[in-house]
Amino acid sequence: MSRSPAAPAPTTPGPVHDAQVRAYWRALNLPGIVDVHVHFMPDRVMRKVWAYFDSAGPLTGRHWPIRYRWSDDDRLEHLRAMGVRAFPSLIYPHKPGMAEWLNDWARPFARQHPDVIPTATFFPEPGVTAYVEHALTEGAALFKVHVQVGRFDPGDPLLDDVWGMLADAGVPAVVHAGSGPTPGAHTGPGPFGAVLERHPTLAAVIAHMGMPDYDAFLDFAQTYPNVHVDTTMCFIDFFDAEEAAKLRRRLAPRLADLGPRVLFGADFPNIPHEYAHQIDVLTRLELGDDWMRDVLWHNGARLLRLE
């Protein structure tokens, strides 16, 4: 006798506006939200990032309004008002000689704000092993690696010891290795896949789920014990609402299977929509409240040792 398919787990409707975010996670009986993909940077660096987005129309095919073009204090206050309890200051260099300076900025920033996850970065350059070791000694709990912006091969021999140090320490790295919004010489699953082959225990968080090479990067999360993906900018309506809905239907079964490896990320403040929208589109996957609880809190808290 055949059985009817199991009814989908109930999913509480997501928040539409930021003012509704706190009520949403309270309805799930969560203590708040862990967001692994938030940017705070030195002011002049952040302004250059915003200027890039302002001029990126030819790259993205559309105008990209920065929704939260605010001061550090205002952005911190907004995250806290929504109940985002832990978030990094994702920093990244685009040239040699920049990473250590960014680390020196991020360290006191995290000490000043206890809800900021101590964050560091690196670049393939002489001395990288020493300053990464120093960052780890000083308490760095998360690294950011932007292969696309940095335009470097993540498998550069100068970084081999660094990846090994992170793997040994169990400290995760948020890695933008996907080819979205535009491909680079070292983006896509191949170059970072080679790093994982050499360092299979590395705790890596694939930013944007590897957009647009979702399947290949989700394969990494299924293959390697410590590889995760973050939800940053995935499934949002900004690009094409109909295509986003198709992508949700296609990837929902894989994300259900990967439940513990999926982390919430929003890319705040550099987003063209309200923060709440990233949560709302995840509820549209209809994977159930338990899955949302894990993504919004438990998975990130476990990886970052907050629980």
Does 207 reside within a domain?
A: yes
Does 11 reside within a domain?
A: no
> What CATH number should be reported for the domain holding residue 104?
3.20.20.140
Does 254 reside within a domain?
A: yes
Q: How many domains does the chain have?
A: 1
Does 64 reside within a domain?
A: yes
- pLDDT 10s digit of each residue in the chain, 307 long? 334 445 556 789 999 999 999 999 999 999 999 999 999 999 999 999 999 888 876 556 678 899 999 999 999 999 999 999 999 999 999 999 999 999 999 999 999 999 999 999 999 999 999 999 999 999 999 999 999 999 999 999 999 999 999 999 999 999 999 998 888 899 999 999 999 999 999 999 999 999 999 999 999 999 999 999 999 999 999 989 999 999 999 999 999 999 999 999 999 999 999 999 999 999 999 999 999 999 999 999 999 999 7
Does 250 reside within a domain?
A: yes
Does 161 reside within a domain?
A: no
Domain of 125? Answer: 18-156+172-303
Does 3 reside within a domain?
A: no
Does 167 reside within a domain?
A: no
- Phi, psi dihedral angles at 114 (to 5 degrees): -60, -20
